[in-house]
Structure 1
């Protein structure tokens, strides 16, 4: 294992900053989203979602748990699940990135206020938790499988890294470092031989090592990764695979068990591999993730097909109506794909980031940023009901987006992701800049060799396919500019009117201020079919347009037609319509109400009609409805 080397600055405001790798990510001070799809969501996140999270965490008692821990009443008054501390920390992380992005003084003051409440609970040895360790509570680390103590530290540490990287080496950073030192002392080589039931501490410790240069944090993260899969956690009804403690990370062939846990662990293993030069570990995790994308991932990029254990199913077990596709799993998948992109330089990982951001993460929040989906099914058979604006939901399995949940991980995960979204747009190498996500933006940075470069990106993406990049600061001498060509556009994209050969459009020349390049992508509706081994959608097709998965919603159907009564007529291919598409639909009538089986076909054709398809991320913003992504063909 090599020494932690900081080839690039570690104070750049970005969630992921490897000390080395093929590509270097840009920070929030280098990329500004100016307008359009992602800038709108980032603005709503700052204006509505983050204050909404603060309001609800205050209202339901997550924040007051820290105060009760101080006044001795926590046993009687603590509210929320064992991991509710972590949602406070994720909210603080979202605030930290938002302050780094906007400089909001009121939000900065709120961080200081919350930090004081959190820090007052920390024990002299660094231990910090409101659920364990006091008279009347369970002993420290008495339930590693379900207690989430280490998981909570992970989110505390990530909030502190956000503060440190946005220029605030404050008390929150000190609190997190004391907690990290405690973890290293308690769970180091001579300490407890255990791991947390929910991976998260590992990825946080690596990022803290990167931010501080402290090797012990990286060593501890590596130790946790190596301990995983050796049966230190108890066997349960879902098996040890639920928390990835059945097979060592290096020996696994595919992701399994609880989807969020598996993906957080994969992100951590990539981080450890990059920082220690462990190519074998990196290759193992990359292969696992590729296998998971090929056999256990929904069209939207969502992961997890089991409700009871929030877990991956078997290969090709991807029922659209029972899709769990937890929003947090979407965030975690973006974390994995982005790390692989930075480590390997393979731009196709940007396709995974794009698909998952547009069709999972962006689907969760309501248009106003004040309600969220916890799960993201691809087929809704019943309209459900509108969640009460003043009630906490279980997990919104039968409702529409809910304002808050008993398990509130998803709203805060969305909030921290949107607040730091600019850091996923572009990267640089020694003598080139790479654009991975397309949004109107200003980019001002330096290449790896120190030369300054500035760009302005103009585009109507994802609804329009032209991306114009204007050079605002030209680097001296020759430099490279690379633009990712999404997989759906390979073979039909053009750069300045000329066909692009491959997955990347690259220009290398001496640029001048004012130079423009134009990438054109065919943002038109296209029919998508599924692997025949995905039994649940045989005989169905989906429609995509650019990076967006489209769906049929009952809101757009004539009369009281149910979404399950439609067929898509492939003789009339869908055409573009605003942000969605218009196809030719055919309604079918089911002949029997007494028995669902027959010796031959029972459906008989009824009327045809114009079928409007809308972006999946927009569904359920117009009230209760039925919906489906995969539509039977006529």
Structure 2
């Protein structure tokens, strides 16, 4: 096993069925005005505040209790260990991207507490200590032991890749070896009621070279549908995985399971798994995906609903589920190389994920509704605090999502931001400079400063919404680059010489409709520009309830950048009309006649991710057409 300091988010260099592999985290240096400030806020505000919350709520003290350093009661929910592990993973990504001695010292201190709590046989879960030790692995369905272990494994891999140190990786391996003994091919069938460990075990196998961890991940996937979790659809135990064709039950769990199964396919090429994944994907994008990239429509069980069950004000769309979708898209993208996965990944990142954290970096959404009367506000923490460290680790790892290479030494750009991309190859460095104001503007200029002759091509993602994209290389609109196809990667041939590439992605303001079976969306549209979904918020319409605003068919919108609003956003300005509500004064129902309007309204639509950062008030994404 060789150290991989500042390695990729998922290491696919030796994965035989990967069509591409992500660049190391540090290869993409973000220098833009959109993501780079968020990464800095994550480092300077979010991570320190989460360390403090984990101390204040006893999450780290639970490890001290388990090691005997403190004589206290267990504090919080039985799966609280997982929050600490996700936080460690986030810190590891952050210092792998940009060293920070203070964060690193705090991380190592927490790791020391974790290592001291591990039991002689490798077991590590602070809830099942002392008098509860007799109940270890007795209730896999509900008690999240293997789920917590999965987050430990992911933190250990990230820590190892960031620092080259094995102190947390050794802890993870000892626990994984215990799980292999108990639930591997010679143990009893077993899987966690909350999938997560499957993808973590595959990454542990990639990092250590130990094939048994991949084997264990497969055992856990294939234990489902055999009744080990009571046959519950909520826990994805209703059918063997290879027979699953629709997303059901708890949204985060099923998406984590799909991510783990995709990791297995990346290593094995299993066609039955792949068929299940393809069917699940079609179910998601055709029936169960919010326009924001949110997933999971029901508060009850944090679950997927029926096809087209996508309520707005009762949308659950948990931040963790939206992050899980990004993780799954990322794996499918590297398996198949199809840009549709990058399109959906981008939609979720800019909308359903980013809405989960406030602009100040220390308040969070758990659900992410698409309409609200003003009562839904971000909180500093939760009793069940899975979402805050989850979004912290995604933001910290985000540079690793931008670009990949394939085995022909060709470079793919999936996401766009002002940045420098540089990484070594045996024949010399590849060095690109990306100049853009994306997502507010669609012009992307790429300077190829150096590219060895063996780096034969650059592939640029053309989003599905970019219907009139143009592409020039050194001022030449060749047949290869002139009219790139939406929903594809446009190929630019490189010859080892410096080059200048100009990609223009027009960003018209799209009025987007949903399927007519989505209730309450008939004769409504959502405003979308580029990757950004927009909404109306009370703060911008002081004299009109946003729920009362209607769009005449001839309404036009103009984008206008406002650097002083909500940390700098492009808003959409248009003219609408307000519903006359006098007919309903003191009434719930009235005889039908066409709706009447009362006054014109200047509409200011803001990016959905930025709502609820000002005073409370109504918000809506979907707007009725007059």
TM-score bracket, shorter-length normalisation? over 0.9
What per-residue deviation string (whole Å, max 9, x for no partner) do you get for residues 258-304 of structure 1? 00000000000011111122133123213212321111000001000
For residues 119 and 565 of structure 1, the distance between their equivalents in structure 2, rounded to whole angstroms, comes to: 57
Pair 1:522-2:506 in alignment: yes
What per-residue deviation string (whole Å, max 9, x for no partner) do you get for residues 286-342 of structure 1? 321232111100000100000010000000000111110000011110111110110
User: Do the aligned partners of 1:319 and 1:537 also contact (CA within 8 Å) in 2?
Assistant: no
Q: Of 514, 522, 526, which aligns to 1:542?
A: 526
1:471 to 1:494, Cα distance in 2 relative to 1, 3 A: closer
Task: Count how many residue pairs are aligned between Structure 1 and Structure 2.
Answer: 605
- The 5 A counterparts of 1:392-403 are 399-403=376-380
Pair 1:250-2:242 in alignment: yes
1:628 to 1:409, Cα distance in 2 relative to 1, 3 A: same
User: Do the aligned partners of 2:456 and 2:495 also contact (CA within 8 Å) in 1?
Assistant: yes
**Secondary structure at the counterpart of residue 414 of structure 1:** helix
Q: Of 567, 571, 582, which aligns to 2:554?
A: 571
More off after superposition, 15-24 vs 261-270: 15-24
For residues 312 and 29 of structure 2, the distance between their equivalents in structure 1, rounded to whole angstroms, comes to: 36
**Secondary structure at the counterpart of residue 36 of structure 1:** coil
Corresponding residue number in structure 2 for 1:54: 51
Once the two structures are TM-superposed, the CA of residue 11 in structure 1 deviates from its matched residue by 6.0
- The 5 A counterparts of 1:575-614 are 575-578=558-561, 579-590=570-581, 591-601=583-593, 603-614=595-606
**Secondary structure at the counterpart of residue 34 of structure 2:** helix
Corresponding residue number in structure 1 for 2:394: 417
Pair 1:30-2:27 in alignment: yes
What per-residue deviation string (whole Å, max 9, x for no partner) do you get for residues 83-103 of structure 1? 100000000011111111111
For residues 72 and 366 of structure 1, the distance between their equivalents in structure 2, rounded to whole angstroms, comes to: 36
What per-residue deviation string (whole Å, max 9, x for no partner) do you get for residues 445-499 of structure 1? 256x855311011110000111111112122266101110111113444445643
Pair 1:554-2:538 in alignment: yes
Pair 1:128-2:91 in alignment: no
- The 5 A counterparts of 1:371-520 are 371-380=363-372, 382-384=373-375, 399-429=376-406, 430-446=408-424, 452-476=429-453, 479-495=456-472, 498-502=482-486, 503-513=488-498, 515-520=499-504
What per-residue deviation string (whole Å, max 9, x for no partner) do you get for residues 2-35 of structure 1? xxxx9x9966612212232111110112111122
Once the two structures are TM-superposed, the CA of residue 622 in structure 1 deviates from its matched residue by 1.2
1:264 to 1:632, Cα distance in 2 relative to 1, 3 A: same
What per-residue deviation string (whole Å, max 9, x for no partner) do you get for residues 540-588 of structure 1? 10101110000010111142x2221111123122221221201211101
For residues 149 and 364 of structure 1, the distance between their equivalents in structure 2, rounded to whole angstroms, comes to: 26
Corresponding residue number in structure 1 for 2:65: 68
For residues 485 and 415 of structure 2, the distance between their equivalents in structure 1, rounded to whole angstroms, comes to: 19
Pair 1:14-2:11 in alignment: no
User: Do the aligned partners of 2:9 and 2:400 also contact (CA within 8 Å) in 1?
Assistant: yes
User: Do the aligned partners of 1:371 and 1:402 also contact (CA within 8 Å) in 2?
Assistant: yes
For residues 168 and 302 of structure 1, the distance between their equivalents in structure 2, rounded to whole angstroms, comes to: 36
User: Do the aligned partners of 1:568 and 1:583 also contact (CA within 8 Å) in 2?
Assistant: no
Corresponding residue number in structure 2 for 1:391: none
**Secondary structure at the counterpart of residue 114 of structure 2:** helix
For residues 282 and 513 of structure 2, the distance between their equivalents in structure 1, rounded to whole angstroms, comes to: 20
Once the two structures are TM-superposed, the CA of residue 70 in structure 1 deviates from its matched residue by 2.8
1:616 to 1:493, Cα distance in 2 relative to 1, 3 A: farther
**Secondary structure at the counterpart of residue 464 of structure 1:** coil
**Secondary structure at the counterpart of residue 542 of structure 1:** strand
Corresponding residue number in structure 1 for 2:184: 188
User: Do the aligned partners of 1:466 and 1:518 also contact (CA within 8 Å) in 2?
Assistant: yes
Q: Of 86, 102, 114, which aligns to 2:82?
A: 86
What value does the CA root-mean-square deviation take over the aligned residues? 1.9
What per-residue deviation string (whole Å, max 9, x for no partner) do you get for residues 228-251 of structure 1? 12221135xxxx111101011110
Once the two structures are TM-superposed, the CA of residue 537 in structure 1 deviates from its matched residue by 1.1
More off after superposition, 504-513 vs 132-141: 132-141
User: Do the aligned partners of 1:133 and 1:139 also contact (CA within 8 Å) in 2?
Assistant: no
Unaligned 5+ segments in structure 2 are 562-569
User: Do the aligned partners of 1:11 and 1:211 also contact (CA within 8 Å) in 2?
Assistant: no
Corresponding residue number in structure 2 for 1:388: none
User: Do the aligned partners of 1:451 and 1:476 also contact (CA within 8 Å) in 2?
Assistant: no
**Secondary structure at the counterpart of residue 321 of structure 2:** helix
